[in-house]
Amino acid sequence: MESLKIIFWVALFIIFYSYLGYGILLFGIIKLRRLFGLGKPFTGNEDYEPDVTLFVAAYNEKDYLEEKVSNSKNLNYPQEKVTQLWVTDGSDDGTPELLKKYKEVSVLHESARNGKIAAMNRGMKHVKTPIVIFSDGNTNLGKDSIKEIVKLFRNPKVGCVSGEKRIYSKDADSAAGAGEGMYWKYESQLKKWDAELYSVVGAAGELFAIRTELWQEVEKDTLLDDFMISLRVAMKGNTIQYNPDAYAIENASANVKEELKRKIRISAGGIQSVVRLAPLLNFFKYGTLSFQYISHRVLRWTLTPLLLLLLIPINFILTQNEGLFEFGVFSLLFWAQVLFYAASLLGWFLENRQIRLKILFVPYYFFIMNLSVFLGFGRYLKGNQSVNWERAKRGGTTSEVIA
């Protein structure tokens, strides 16, 4: 029984650390660094204003391209220094033909549909600018996004810059919208602290940039292109920085079913990334980056969901000594877990009946996040995850996902 208690407390600590403890630790470290005058932002040459390429790998985006091209053209950056490059492989809805009407846009098109990674690998051979900025065809960028991204590249140690993903909020959010929005706010704060400590652990695919010279072709079956590209840049000794003033806005998933589909794809890609980035687990070689990578990503994609599953039966066994309905430590923790999952179930019940109670969306979304890890792991083992674009509903519209 004593060994079971040790397993329980270790498991509980790892779960807490994965979702809250790491953030608390980061906050403490950052406060200490500031107290001793460390980690001051690099200013560099304020006149740094290089040519950039806005790179969009797109599949059947005719419903969004006019707004996207217009948004890109009106960003607060000298337009003569901005190249809009669209790679539209496999598109058969008229997207390439419509894009050719815009003189400011360069279009690369092949009829074969080989997926986003193949399009990116092919398109990068045509990028001539020192900075390339990746963005999705269905997202709009904040007006100063390019300027805010370029600002961080003044520091020669910075190899990649991640913007912020923002979710359109509505008066009556669904569980997916409310949960995703709160999740990204928390993630945004962690990224700020990660960047201040050393490096962000992966970029957001909706908006990120790299130095073109640091590009490496990505395996054609890669599921999380943004994550792999950015971390491989960091593994070369560069840092990934984060600027929330550079942002991309998109709608939340239309419902939890669509959000689960997206999360399963991300989870399968996360497992794939952990396998392919195995050298990054070496603390002796990568130091702080390894610490951040394991704390912020690896635990959430591997050990933590498994421990969450095991915690309830272990906790139930441990309540036998003190009584299930007594006010002992283990019985209180057991009923706290039961209450949490009951809240998740109630959140699901109300969501299906279009009843909005946001306080229940957090446990529901948390449950969906961890469920997706198990489903994503199964999909990864089966090897049936396609790299081709498919459509998922997003807040009344549709958006690219890799399903």
Cα(298)–Cα(222) distance, rounded to whole angstroms? 17
Number of Cα atoms under 13 Å in the Cβ half of residue 314: 18
Predicted confidence at residue 397, as pLDDT, reads 40
Query: Whole-model pTM?
Result: 0.86
**Residue found under tokens 């283990």:** 330
Predicted confidence at residue 400, as pLDDT, reads 35
Burial 304-338 (b: 16+ CB within 10 A, else e): bbebbeebeebbeebbeeeeeeeeeebbebbbeee
Predicted confidence at residue 15, as pLDDT, reads 96
Predicted confidence at residue 402, as pLDDT, reads 30
- How many CB atoms are located within 10 Å of the residue 272 CB? 22
**Phi, psi at residue 367, to the nearest 5°?**
-65, -45
Reading the chain (403 residues) residue by residue, the pLDDT tens digits are: 789 999 999 999 999 999 999 999 999 999 999 999 887 778 788 889 999 999 999 998 888 889 999 999 999 999 999 999 999 998 888 899 999 999 889 999 999 888 889 999 999 999 999 999 999 988 899 999 999 999 999 999 999 999 998 876 554 455 445 555 677 788 889 999 999 999 999 998 889 999 999 999 999 889 999 999 999 999 999 999 999 999 998 766 555 666 678 788 889 999 999 999 999 999 999 999 999 999 999 999 999 999 999 999 999 999 987 777 777 899 999 999 999 999 888 877 776 666 666 667 778 878 888 888 888 888 888 876 666 655 545 554 433 333 2
**Residue found under tokens 């500031």:** 34
CA 258 vs CA 115, 147, 186, 263, 374: distances in Å: 20, 34, 21, 9, 17
- What H or E segment, with its residue span, contains residue 247? strand 239-250
Q: Rounded to 5 degrees, what angle do the CA atoms 345, 224, 21 make?
A: 55
Predicted confidence at residue 181, as pLDDT, reads 60
